[in-house]
Homo-oligomer: A and B are copies of this chain.
Amino acid sequence: MGARELGQAALRLLNADPTASMGQIATAAGISRATLHRTFATREDLIKFLGRMSLESWRDALDGAGIEAAGDGGDPREITDAMRRLCGELIRDADEYGFILTDPTAERDEELVSEAELLQNRELRFYAAAQEAGVLRADLPVAWIANAVFGLLVGLRDGLRRGDIAVRDAERLLRETLFNGVSAR
């Protein structure tokens, strides 16, 4: 079993129980603890590996949504479309890499944090372009908009995990709430 395949098995368990031990992860992957340790010497190494995978997936989301092309173009309609694509991509991401969104081990790793900052900056530039183009409110700091998107993804992940939200509703709920809020007026 390769590192990626092992990573996927670990991910499935950790998304359900973020405190799962190396022994439990090995059992879930159907291998011995010793075999798991040959690929990942420590639990921290495994988490960092998953952290790198999740950053790749985030980068793919930004690429896939075409945020730079839309942002540089400055056309409100294209920016809106890119924003919608981004929401869809980020949901897939949050669903797949759920636990790592709030994992303190990943948050503490300097390499992961500085790589995450680069991706965060791409998102921030896109939100700023969306403000310029009149798509997003200009009275909210872009850093907060990014935090709000992230926070709603955490809320969505928890709702999906607890079965409060249906997978097929996820995209509509995120977009509606993010764009228009929950107020009836």
A124 to B, closest residue via Cβ: B164
Note all chain B residues with C-beta closer than 8 A to A121: none
Note all chain B residues with C-beta closer than 8 A to A147: 155-156, 158-159, 164-165
Given contacts A151-B154, A152-B155, A155-B150, contact A164 B182 (CB under 8 A): no
Number of interface residues of A (CB under 8 A): 46
Asked if A105 is an interface residue, CB under 8 A from chain B, the answer is yes
Q: Which of A35-63 contact B (CB under 8 A)?
A: none
Note all chain B residues with C-beta closer than 8 A to A131: 184
Stretch at the interface among A2-10, A67-75, A170-178: A170-178
Note all chain B residues with C-beta closer than 8 A to A1: none
Q: Is the CB of A177 within 8 A of B155?
A: no
Asked if A145 is an interface residue, CB under 8 A from chain B, the answer is yes
Q: Is the CB of A134 within 8 A of B184?
A: yes
A143 to B, closest residue via Cβ: B164
**A140 touches which of B144, B149, B173, B179 (Cβ 8 Å):** B173
Q: How far apart are the CA atoms of A135 and B169 in the complex, in Å? A: 22
Asked if A91 is an interface residue, CB under 8 A from chain B, the answer is no
Asked if A32 is an interface residue, CB under 8 A from chain B, the answer is no
* Interface pairs A-B: 10 shortest CB-CB: A151-B155, A181-B181, A102-B102, A147-B155, A143-B164, A179-B183, A18-B104, A151-B151, A147-B159, A180-B181
